[in-house]
Structure formats: structure tokens, C-alpha cells
Amino acid sequence: MRVGLPRLALALAVTCALVAGAGAAVCPVGVGDCCAVDADCDDGDACTGLETCDASSSTCVAGTPVDCSDQDPCTDDVCDPLTGTCSNPPAVDGTPCEDADACTAGDACALGRCVPGEPVVCAAFDQCHEAGICDPATGDCSYAPVADATPCDDGDACTVGDACVAGGCVPGVAVVCAHLDQCHDAGTCDPSTGDCSNPAAADATPCEDGDACTVGDACVAGSCVAGVPVVCGAPDQCHEPGTCNPATGTCSNPAKPNGTACDDGNACTSGDTCEGGTCAGGAPVVCAPPDQCHDAGTCNPSTGTCSNPAKPDGAVCDDGNACTTVDMCDGGICSGGKPVVCELPDQCHDAGTCNPATGICSNPAKPNGTACDDGNGCTTGDACEGGSCVAASPVVCHAQDQCHDVGTCNPASGICSNPVKPNGTTCDDGNACTRSDT
């Protein structure tokens, strides 16, 4: 709605008196805005209204301009100076306008109409607010906070899990710069990048190189250097040296062949051998009594020595001399008993001597002809011959009388039997005066 420029008669405020000169009663017609009558003030423009002359000051008073405004920003407000008639042709396309919606920007006229511009975008002004809503009346955006716990970034790369709370971004958990590996120390976090520093651990710091078959691994310039290799020695006498398993560090444990000589640690066994990787005891040591005056002992596993307990005193033994009898143990020693007495074995031998090896007495024969008794009462004149009693003459048993038969000699008593003849046997009673004696 453009308005034509009015004449600024009053603004000039030129006094007619000064223009006309001192003492002039009226302003000369046509000089400036001085006037004598209303006609002097007509500017010839019907759009400026009807000008009048102020008689008191001889100055023109502007009229009321014609108002051609149609209150439409997309039309030009044009007044015809000749007639004072208004017209409202379309404004030039692109002329800024206002579409009455404050939520559009860059509104412009097109073909006499106000076309809305780009809508106002109420972008979230930070990560903890939702995109806003534009108020058409004011063009202001409202911004609601996002839900609590919505992820956000507090601008510190050394926090993780930042979250919105009541529209503000609250830092999460601090980044922990744990050591990268066993040969690096824990680092520090760079807030601008979130990267952790990675300082190497001091040289000689113990570590594990991942090979369980090395020991004493240590860090050197941030790397784990293998230590001394594990030596798989034979764990015992029934196993060979093994090999190390890198995954576990455990040594294999191969058993020696069965029958391999070993020592089971018990001195009371002998001929010990390996069997299935275990040393099996051989034949047990037998603790036989060392002699007749000691009992069988027990074996000491530490030394293999047998105990040697003495038998009780008085225990029967043999002192090795067959010429002693009733030998007995005394303090573990066999003491000889009574000596063997070599008595006369018979009447044709003398007393002999004892042989210690056999306990047998010698038996010397008496001289031949030495009188003896052969134990048979029915012999007489017995005499020794070569150690034997030999009978000389046998006893002759005669009939005692005519009424007895010849008897027999009793060897035990040397007495002859005296058997009676049968009754009726003829005899002679020595009396001639009897006959037919029987």
C-alpha cells in the first residue's frame, strides 16, 4: 500500500512575512507556501487532499491525503493525481509479505497473493530436547526435553553411557584405561578423542608369554619375552623324562618298561621292579634266626637289617659238641650241658672216649680171653673174643636118677630141668629084697 508524497507546506514553516519582506500584509501568491486564499495552496494533486490557506499565518495547510491502502501487502496502493481515484494493482512478484503465519519465513507475493515461505524448522537445539513446535502466532519454537535416559554425548569422550536427565546431558561412566596387556600399564583417557594412552610396563615386569613351558617370562619394551624353558625331568625311578605341553605346562610322564630295576624304598624287599610306572617290591627279606639261641627277627624297612632277638635263657640248643648233653641258651649263646659219660657198653669192652663230632663213644674191646658171662647160664668158661663174649663149654644136664630123664638147661638160670620118668617105668630101688620096682 504505497502512499504518494504530500506536500510538506507546514514542514517548511517558512513565514510569509519573511519572504514578502517586512511590513507585508499578505504573502505574494505563488511564493513558497505562502497564500492569500485557499486556491493559492492547491498543489494540483488530487491525491493530497484539499489544501487550505491559514489566514492568520498566510500559510498553506495541507489537506488530508487520499488513503488508497487495501491492507494487502501484495498490491500496490496507487492514487490517480488527476482524479484522486485509488487503484490496487498486484505488487511485483517476490515482494516480501507476511502471510499471518509466524511459522513461515521468506513469505513473498506472487500474482498479487502472499505465498508462504519456508516453514520455520524448530530443530532440537541440543541432544536432550526434542525438535520443537512453532507457534503460528509468535513464530517461537517450544522445546520439550527428551525422555530421561536417552543417550547423549556430554562432549567428554572419556565418559560412556551419557544420558539425558531433565533436559540436561549427564556424564556416564568414566572410561577406564585398563592396561592393554600384561606388558603395559593402565593409561589415561584423552577427553577430546576418548583414546587411552598405552604406557609400556617397566622392563623385567613378570608376564606370561602364553607358552606354559617357559618360566620367568618378563616384559621388555612392552613385549613379553619368554623365560627359561621347563625341564621335564623323570619324576621317579619308574618313569622316563617327559615333554612339556605348551598349553598346560604339564610334563608327560612316560613309564619305564615293566621289569626295570628300581628301589621301592623298603630295604626289606629285594629284586624290586617297575610295573606300570610303579616300583613294586620284590621278594621280602626273610629274617631267619641266625642261630639256635635266637628267634627269627623282623626287618627294618629303613636299613634292611633284621632284628636278632635272643631266645629265653634255658632254651634247649646244641652247642655243636655232641659230647655234651642238655645244652641250653644263656644270653643268646648256646652253653654246653653235662658231658657225655662213655660207660662200658658190655663186659668185653673197656670204657671209651666221646667223639665231639658225633657224640659216639669209642668202644675198645677187652683183650681176648678176658672172662665174661655171655648171659646164658647154660654155658661155662665164657671168655671175650674180639669184643664178644664167647661161650666155652655147654652145661650137660644128666638124669638125676633112674626115675628121671635127662633134663634141659635153663639159659636164664643155668639149672637143668629134672623131668620124672613115666610111672611104671622099671627101676631099681637098690633093695635086692624087692622085685619089679617101678
Which residues, in sequence order, are CB contacts of 433 under 8 Å at separation 6+?
Answer: none
H helix or E strand, kind and range, residue 19: helix 16-20
Q: Does residue 77 form part of some domain?
A: yes
Q: Does residue 12 form part of some domain?
A: yes
Average pLDDT over every residue of 64-69: 94
Q: Does residue 126 form part of some domain?
A: no
Q: Does residue 134 form part of some domain?
A: no
Tell me: the pLDDT tens digits for 141-152?
A: 999 999 999 999
Whether the per-residue pLDDT at 355 is higher than 70: the answer is yes
Q: Please tell me the total count of domains within the chain.
A: 1
pLDDT band at residue 399 under the 50/70/90 scheme: confident
Task: Measure the N-to-C terminal CA separation of the chain; round to a whole number of Å.
Answer: 226
Domain that holds residue 29: 1-89
State the average pLDDT for the chain.
89
Q: Do 189 and 196 touch, CB atoms closer than 8 A?
A: yes
Q: Does residue 84 form part of some domain?
A: yes
pLDDT band at residue 120 under the 50/70/90 scheme: very high
Whether the per-residue pLDDT at 279 is higher than 80: the answer is yes
DSSP 106-145: S-EEETTEEE--EEP----SSTTB---EE-TTT-PEE-PB
Whether the per-residue pLDDT at 103 is higher than 60: the answer is yes
pLDDT band at residue 16 under the 50/70/90 scheme: low
Q: Does residue 101 form part of some domain?
A: no
Distance (Å, whole) CA 417 – CA 403: 14
Distance (Å, whole) CA 58 – CA 75: 39
Backbone angles phi, psi at 391, to 5 degrees: -70, 145
Q: Does residue 346 form part of some domain?
A: no
Cell of 94: 517476490
Closest CA to 416 of 402, 401, 395: 395
Residue 32, pLDDT score: 46
CA distances 233 to 246, 251, 254, Å, are: 16, 9, 11
Q: Does residue 48 form part of some domain?
A: yes
Handedness of CA 100, 101, 107, 109 (dihedral sign): negative
